[in-house]
Every structure is written in structure tokens, then in C-alpha cells.
Amino acid sequence: MGSESHLHKLLAAPGGALAQLLADGRRQQQLLAQVRQCLPGELADAVASAGVADGALHLGVTSGAWASRLRFLAPRLRRQIGDGLGQSLNEVRVHVLACATPPPAVAPPTVRPLSDTSRAHLQAVADATADPRLAKALRTLADAGSPDG
């Protein structure tokens, strides 16, 4: 518990580098909240970061699809956020954020062999089909579904 209060003193010490960092983080969180308020529900949830630098509003989103939708709203967002900040923003830059964790590995589907009845049905349909390409595909499927195939 003593280390927690010591860390709090480091962060809250006026004029220190950590205090400035903490204040910057709070401003970014406020800006992110302001941006999200200007956007429709799902799009607002897709915006993960916001910042202002060099007269541009920088927004980080979770996917390219959301980035495309956000770019359509950029002119209106630029004006609204600029007015809220009391400064003129020249542009909105949208960035797709890298995924923090890789997507889970998907196991390949388990292939089960076809039953003798199913293979026989495929062969029968192939024999009765006038289309030679379809007949060949059905025979290939029947052969691939065999337990040793």
C-alpha cells in the first residue's frame, strides 16, 4: 500500500514530467469522449484513440471498414471537434490500429468419411446426370469421401 501512495505522489507532483504525462492522458481521454459523442453508436465504439497534432485530428479505429465510414464524416467531425477545442483543425487523419493480440488459431474442420450409402447415392446421381462436368465432380466427391480416400 505504501508503494501505491508513493506512485500517486510521483504522478501528482506539480510541474513534474509524470504529472504532465498524466494531464496529457486525461486530455486525450476527454478528446476521445468528445469524438465519440459526435458519432453514431457502433462507429463511436470503433474509435479507440484520438489526438490533435500539427492542426490535424488523429483518430485510431479498429478496422479498415470503420476507417472508411469515418472518413465520410471527417469534414463535419473536423468542424465540430475544432469548435469544441476552440481551434481550427485542417484535417482528420484516420489510422487503422494494429491488433494487440493475434487472432486465435482456428483448427481445421474435422473431415469424416462418407458412409457407404452416401457414396452410393453420389455415384448413382453421377451415373444419371447428363452433364459430364457435374458427373465427374460427384464421382470425385464420392471418392474423396471414402475412408481410405
Distance CA 141, CA 149 (A): 10
Cβ contacts of residue 137 below 8 Å, gap of 6+? Answer: none
- Residue 66 grid cell: 470503420
What is the model's pLDDT at position 9?
A: 66
Q: In this predicted model, which residue has the larger pLDDT, 95 or 2?
A: 95
Q: What is the pTM of this model?
A: 0.57
φ, ψ of residue 40 in degrees (nearest 5): -70, 155
State the pLDDT confidence band at 70, using cuts at 50, 70 and 90: very high
Q: Is 14 helix (H, G, I), strand (E, B) or coil?
A: coil
What is the model's pLDDT at position 143?
A: 86
What is the model's pLDDT at position 108?
A: 72
Tens of pLDDT, residue by residue over 117-138, are: 988 999 999 999 899 999 999 9
Tens of pLDDT, residue by residue over 20-51, are: 777 888 889 999 999 999 998 889 999 999 99
Q: Is 57 exposed, middle or buried (0-12, 13-18, 19+ CB in 10 A)?
A: buried
- Residue 10 grid cell: 510521483
Cβ contacts of residue 142 below 8 Å, gap of 6+? Answer: 114, 118, 119, 122, 123, 126
Which residue, 36, 56, 34, is CA-closest to 46? 36
What is the model's pLDDT at position 148?
A: 65
